[in-house]
Amino acid sequence: MSQLTGVYAVTQPRPDLEAAVAGALRGGVGVVQYRDKGDDPERRRQEAIALRRLCEDAGALFLVNDDVALAEAAAAHGVHLGRDDGSVAAARQQLGDAAWIGVSCYDDLERARRLVGEGADYVAFGSMFPSPTKPESGLAPMELLRSGREVTGCPTVAIGGIDADNIHQIAEAGADAAAVVSALFAADDPEAAARELVARWQRSR
């Protein structure tokens, strides 16, 4: 199974989501996080299971955003928790020792230190750039990407407004992975978009 590195795809709803994720995987992404705030739990369960199978076939990690119960139901490889999504300890108890548990740390290094102490496997900082997905988010300083790993000893993920024009800045700043939303899932051709993102990431490492 892939380690947490490189281009990390965070989904947004689209009618051809399964095909879009398959394309992103062919394009080289190594992590997919299923993010859907919709109110149809059965559709979300079916989509999550389908995406988990695609990821397993591609040797990629499959994570679920926010929803520990859905992660368990879909046999996901882990979950990503935001500020209001419950504790790391509760997620660990439900999903088991092998699960990846990531946490959003915004621009807060002390939060990262505390949550890794509680058992989180990776920390995410952002928004790094103005984000069309979360326009209300404040910006996190680039130096957090390197200092986050130094302080916590675990992988750091950058998120927020990352695209093909700026992903090199994230790689150069020392992040382990760059989480990308709109640059992949608002693209007409997610596979081509993924290939470009991965190529620019690798050139900058």
Residue 156 has φ and ψ, to the nearest 5°, of -115, 135
Quote the number of domains for the chain: 1
Take residue 169 and report the two structure tokens written for it: 């800045």
Q: Is position 154 within any domain?
A: yes
Tell me, rounded to whole angstroms, the distance of Cα 23 from its chain centroid: 17
Report the mean per-residue pLDDT for the chain.
Answer: 95
String of DSSP letters for 69-136: HHHHHTT-SEEEE-TTS--HHHHHHHH-TTSEEEEEEET-HHHHHHHHHTT-SEEEE--SS--SS-TT
Q: Please give the pLDDT value at position 132.
A: 74
Judge whether residue 185 has pLDDT over 50. Answer: yes
Active site (catalytic) residues: 35, 104, 134
Q: Please give the pLDDT value at position 2.
A: 52
Percent of the chain with pLDDT over 90: 93
Residue 1 banded pLDDT, cuts 50, 70, 90: very low
Burial class (CB in 10 A: 0-12, 13-18, 19+), 12: middle
Judge whether residue 24 has pLDDT over 50. Answer: yes
Q: Please give the pLDDT value at position 205.
A: 84
- pLDDT tens readout for residues 2-12: 589 999 999 99
- pLDDT tens readout for residues 126-142: 999 987 777 767 899 99
Give the domain extent around 197: 6-204
Tell me, rounded to whole angstroms, the distance of Cα 100 from its chain centroid: 11
Take residue 114 and report the two structure tokens written for it: 């505390």
Distances (CA, A) of 71 to 33, 47, 111: 10, 12, 23
CA atoms within 13 A on the CB side of 79: 26
Q: Is position 1 within any domain?
A: no
Tell me, rounded to whole angstroms, the distance of Cα 126 from its chain centroid: 12
Q: Please give the pLDDT value at position 127.
A: 95
- pLDDT tens readout for residues 78-87: 999 999 989 9
Mean pLDDT of 29-35: 98
Q: Give CA–CA dist 184/164, Å, rounded.
A: 10
Residue 97 banded pLDDT, cuts 50, 70, 90: very high
Pairing of strands 177-180, 156-159: parallel
Q: Is position 55 within any domain?
A: yes
Q: Is position 198 within any domain?
A: yes
Mean pLDDT of 48-66: 98
Tell me, rounded to whole angstroms, the distance of Cα 131 from its chain centroid: 15
Q: Is omega for the bond preceding 127 within 30 degrees of 0, making it cis? A: yes
CATH number, domain at 174? 3.20.20.70
